[in-house]
Amino acid sequence: MQKIIKYTWCAAIIATLGLQSCKDDYLDKLSDNPNQVPVPTLNALLATSTYKIGNNNYLIGSIVAPYVQYTASPSANAAGDTYQAIDFSTTWDALYFAMADANEMKKLAVAQGSSEYKGVADVIIAYNLTLINDLWGDAPFSQAFDINNLKPKYDKQQEVYNQAIVLLDEAIAELAKTNATVKLAPTSDLIYGKTPATERANWLKMAYALKARLLNKISKTSSYNPAAVLAALSNSFTTNADDAGMATFKERNPWANVALSNSQQSLGGWLSEQFIDALNGKTFTVFDPRIEKITDKTVNNTYIGTVNGAGNRLPGANTTKDECYISSNSPWTSNTSPILIVTYAELKFIEAEAYFDTDKTKAYAAYLAGIGANMDKLTVSTTARDAYLANPVVSVGAADLTKDLIFKEKYIATYLNPEAWNDARRFDYKYKDFTLPVNFALPTFIRRLDYPQGERSKNGANVPADVARTTKLWWDQ
């Protein structure tokens, strides 16, 4: 694993909130340039770290999107669609670079007595560490940032999970304080900087949101504690306005870049038949108005997805636009749309799941609230929203609420979010009509990634032995 010894930064990060004039290489790589600042400021590290938490959300979201069949390749036998081995060394490095930046911010915050910066650093480290843990399982952490150890040991996957919980608890304790000697700089905070009056409080809510997500993820284990999940939720988001998202880009939202490239015949961002059929009325016999806010109709005035692994249904006609794609017209994937890290809507579905076995009335209320919140976020009209919520396929009543319904609605609400793969695995891919891709390379659904070749070349003695991509992580047993 690569180590970060020196960091550089661009004044443009602070000045423009955009990083448009800063290249990632300047933020990521070692440098001995005497003209560069050897020790960055808290503000610079905050800007860099909050940018990277959003960008890493996109990177992981793009990896898992075909696994949960949000997206599909126009080419048959595409590696992602069919669960083939892929080297994600760049992604691995991006996650560790982000943690290294946040770790430097944390050390500097401790030195300067800033509980706010320390708390935010803990949240950011915990989030990136969780992404590593969810993709690969065992991973370096306890020795990961020791500058004298270039070949850190791998901590066991459950230990990594526990450390993420510890980090979030530390963040909660720090962000609950109101007497920080150095307070967060709104102009450097790309997540909550636009609301300086509630900036610290919003980060505190986000810490609780991520903790609730982590506690809910172990629902298949004997350690699952719904009461602890609900306790975390009670201190977290209360409206869509609390959502954690990053909306500062070099050019545009990276999902919008995918849509733009597709429109210019550099094909990508095709939506899966599974996802489209869950919305267009085919799978669930109810038309979901969110589809109109997620994608555009085809040239045939319909909504049609692409079968994972099969490629375009009309070979050689990839430019016909007779399938649905990621759209730059969507509030989720437009040029200026935020990359959403965790949302109020997602938390309502977590609440519904946590209440399911003990209070169906509260579970049902949370389920409906999650749907409504997601529709409001996507700017679905009130009339269309209420009609969907009143449909008997959706409005089943508390007594007839099922986990299938909760997971189905959460699947739609977490469109393009990395958390969707965790849910798919927890749910054993039991979404209605969800099938293995055509030409799949594994005997069953994918459960984890191969360790990157870059890590094997740098830290091979410590990398775990080859583990099949069908091997379940500890919380997925």
DSSP result, 277-319: HHHSSTTTSS--TTHHHH----TTSS---B-TTT--SSTT-TT
CA distances (Å), origin 106, targets 69, 102, 139, 299: 37, 6, 21, 52
Q: How confident is the model at residue 344 (pLDDT cuts 50, 70, 90)?
A: very high
Give me the pLDDT at residue 11, please. Answer: 29
Give me the pLDDT at residue 321, please. Answer: 86
Structure tokens at 366: 């949370």
Q: How far apart are CA 135 and CA 155, in angstroms?
A: 14
Statement: residue 40 has pLDDT above 70: yes
DSSP element (H, E) containing 340: strand 339-342
Statement: residue 332 has pLDDT above 90: yes
Statement: residue 449 has pLDDT above 80: yes
Q: How many distinct helices (H) and strands (E) make up the chain?
A: 17, 2
Q: What is the pLDDT of residues 176-226, one digit of tens each?
A: 999 999 999 999 999 999 999 999 999 999 999 999 999 999 999 999 999
Question: Which residue do the tokens 């209320």 mark?
Answer: 365
Q: What is the pLDDT of residues 382-434, one digit of tens each?
A: 999 999 999 999 999 999 999 999 999 999 999 999 999 999 999 999 999 99
Give me the pLDDT at residue 101, please. Answer: 97
Average pLDDT in the 306-311 region? 95
Residue type, 343: T
CA–centroid distance for 294 within its chain: 17
Structure tokens at 32: 């001995």
Q: What are phi and psi of 353, to 5 degrees?
A: -70, -40
Statement: residue 278 has pLDDT above 80: yes
Q: What is the pLDDT of residues 70-88, one digit of tens each?
A: 999 999 999 999 999 999 9
Cβ distance 253 to 332 under 8 Å?
no
Burial class, 36, CB count within 10 angstroms (exposed 0-12 / middle 13-18 / buried 19+): middle
Structure tokens at 349: 């579905």
Q: What is the pLDDT of residues 235-263, one digit of tens each?
A: 999 999 999 999 999 999 999 999 999 88
Give me the pLDDT at residue 29, please. Answer: 39
Statement: residue 451 has pLDDT above 70: yes
Give me the pLDDT at residue 20, please. Answer: 32
Q: How far apart are CA 208 and CA 227, in angstroms?
A: 14
CA distances (Å), origin 326, targets 127, 213, 305, 405, 473: 26, 26, 11, 25, 30
Helix (H, G, I), strand (E, B) or coil at 50: helix
User: To the nearest whole number, what is the mean pLDDT of the chain?
Assistant: 91
Q: How far apart are CA 174 and CA 333, in angstroms?
A: 34
Give me the pLDDT at residue 317, please. Answer: 55
The model carries a pTM of 0.92
Q: How confident is the model at residue 318 (pLDDT cuts 50, 70, 90)?
A: low
Statement: residue 34 has pLDDT above 80: no
Q: How confident is the model at residue 315 (pLDDT cuts 50, 70, 90)?
A: low
Q: How far apart are CA 94 and CA 28, in angstroms?
A: 8
CA distances (Å), origin 437, targets 107, 280, 283, 307, 412: 46, 20, 17, 7, 19
**Residue 324, phi-psi category: left (phi > 0), alpha (psi -120 to 50), beta (remainder):** beta
Answer with the residue of higher pLDDT: 36 or 183: 183
Q: What is the pLDDT of residues 114-173, one digit of tens each?
A: 999 999 999 999 999 999 999 999 999 999 999 899 999 999 999 999 999 999 999 999
Q: How far apart are CA 456 and CA 448, in angstroms?
A: 17
Helix (H, G, I), strand (E, B) or coil at 245: strand
Q: What is the pLDDT of residues 153-166, one digit of tens each?
A: 999 999 999 999 99
Q: How far apart are CA 411 and CA 121, in angstroms?
A: 29
